[in-house]
């Protein structure tokens, strides 16, 4: 257990943003009165840490900027709470993969300079388990990259954690890229490429392993960057996804938000975002070259993780399974005693899902 509980954070994760990004995200946005103290402290720490930015940028230009990404990434996609974290952890046992770490997620601008010092302090302060589902938290474990991107540029969906009143605006602009400007999209591409290069350098990998639910709505842009990328798309029982996402978003947004949002509005947003993300992926998945996409039910993966992992490697022609086999087996053996949250669906949940997400129930063959 770290010294600071996640739900009692005196600051939010924007402390790791560069000063320009922090101003672009929060500038002109209303900060509700109850969160102004958190905003001011976060801004102060951000300003102090941003003083190291010139050193970081100089090292990046010298060490990594001109180096090519030799292997197109493997992307693990799916709506939040669809099992992407578990699959990410299994595949990251393969040492040929590089990935974004938990430390990098919060401090992506302090990777090439100051990492040992700041990582030690983060490890000392942070909780050792994710509060929403008891998944292990450590500074060097693999983590999704959207929080890191939110600290590197203002054009990410995760701005909604801080400014939830604009959640649906961020959905259309930065989750689905429907209303994003071309200039913003180019910044996204450049920033994401930078993150990948730093991640590979940091973890010693040769192929980037991405786990990032927001990428599910960005297939066209990802393929422009990486035409031969591989995609693993996870689906899960929508009743479970609804209950789990509502719990995850509600519990995660509270220590990060700078604006109020009612539970009812957050729930309505979750319902809408799920539908939009589902249909955007369905509209763009045909762009993925044949043989580069696997769609998997998480329940099947969970029941036969080792066999399905081997099957994914073979089907998508991903190298390295034989070398990774012992580490994957060891990880899966360790997880056998893991206690998952269990969800009991009340009649209201059933009504909401069947009214709004019936298309997913039918397409994937889920029921009660």
C-beta neighbour count of 307 within 10 angstroms: 11
Average pLDDT over residues 337-344: 62
How much is the average pLDDT of 89-106?
A: 97
Cα(114)–Cα(131) distance, integer angstroms: 28
Binned at pLDDT 50, 70 and 90, residue 335 comes out as confident
List C-alpha distances in Å: 29 to 19, 159, 171, 190. 16, 11, 17, 26
CB 190 within 8 Å of CB 69: no
**Given this model, what pLDDT does residue 9 score?**
81
Give backbone dihedrals phi and psi of 31, rounded to 5 degrees, phi first.
-105, 115
Pick the closest to residue 151 from 50, 252, 254 (CA basis): 50
Range 284-294 average pLDDT = 98
Q: Which residue do the tokens 């010139």 mark? A: 54
pTM of this structure: 0.95
pLDDT category of residue 362 using cuts at 50, 70 and 90: very high
How many Cβ atoms from other residues are within 10 Å of residue 169's Cβ? 13
The two counts, helices (H) then strands (E), for the chain are 17, 5
How far apart are alpha carbons 142 and 90 in whole angstroms?
A: 10
End-to-end CA distance of the chain: 37
Given a cut of 80, whether residue 5 has pLDDT beyond it is no
Whether residue 130 is predicted with pLDDT greater than 90 in this model: the reply is: no
Tokens representing 175 are 């989750």
pLDDT at residue 358 is higher than 90: yes
Mean pLDDT of 242-259: 95
pLDDT at residue 2 tops 70: no
DSSP, res 10: S
- 200 near 194, Cβ under 8 Å? no
pLDDT > 80? residue 36: yes
Helix extents (H) in 73-208: 84-91, 102-106, 115-125, 146-150, 167-170, 182-203
d(CA 156, CA 266): 18
H-helix or E-strand spanning residue 252: helix 238-253
Contact between 128 and 2 (Cβ < 8 Å) = yes
* Mean pLDDT of the 28-33 span: 97
**What six digits make up the tokens of 214?**
């927001």
Task: Say yes or no to pLDDT of 289 above 80.
Answer: yes
pLDDT above 70 for 287: yes
């Amino acid at each position: 257990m770290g010294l600071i509980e996640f739900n009692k954070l005196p600051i939010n994760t924007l402390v790791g943003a560069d000063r320009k990004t922090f101003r672009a995200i929060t500038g002109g946005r209303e900060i509700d009165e109850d969160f102004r103290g958190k905003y001011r402290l976060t801004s102060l720490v951000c300003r102090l840490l941003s003083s190291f930015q010139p050193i970081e940028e100089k090292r990046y230009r010298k060490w990594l900027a001109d180096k090519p990404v030799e292997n197109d990434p493997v992307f693990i996609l799916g709506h939040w709470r669809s099992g992407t974290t578990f699959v990410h952890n299994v595949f990251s046992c393969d040492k040929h993969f590089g990935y974004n770490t938990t430390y990098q997620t919060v401090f992506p601008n302090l990777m090439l300079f100051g990492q040992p010092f700041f990582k030690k302090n983060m490890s000392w302060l942070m909780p050792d388990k994710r509060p929403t589902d008891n998944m292990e938290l450590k500074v060097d474990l693999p983590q999704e990259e959207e929080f890191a991107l939110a600290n590197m540029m203002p054009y990410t969906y995760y701005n909604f954690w801080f400014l939830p009143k604009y959640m649906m605006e961020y959905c259309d602009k930065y989750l689905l890229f429907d209303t994003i400007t071309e200039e913003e999209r180019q910044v996204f591409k450049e920033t994401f490429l930078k993150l990948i290069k730093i991640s590979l350098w940091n973890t010693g990998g040769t192929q980037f392993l991405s786990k990032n639910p927001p990428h599910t709505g960005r297939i066209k842009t990802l393929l422009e960057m990486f035409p031969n990328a591989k995609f693993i798309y996870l689906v899960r029982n929508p009743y479970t996804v609804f209950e789990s996402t509502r719990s995850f978003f509600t519990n995660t947004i509270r220590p990060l938000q700078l604006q109020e949002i009612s539970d009812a509005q957050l729930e309505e947003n979750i319902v809408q975002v799920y539908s939009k993300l589902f249909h955007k992926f369905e509209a763009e998945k045909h762009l993925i070259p044949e043989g580069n996409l696997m769609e998997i039910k998480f329940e099947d993966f969970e029941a036969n993780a080792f066999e399905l992992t081997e099957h994914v490697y073979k089907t998508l022609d991903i190298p390295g399974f034989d070398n990774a086999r012992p580490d994957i087996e060891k990880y899966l053996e360790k997880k056998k005693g893991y206690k998952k949250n269990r969800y009991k669906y009340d009649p209201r949940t059933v009504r909401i899902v069947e009214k709004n997400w019936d298309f997913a129930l039918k397409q994937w063959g889920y029921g009660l």
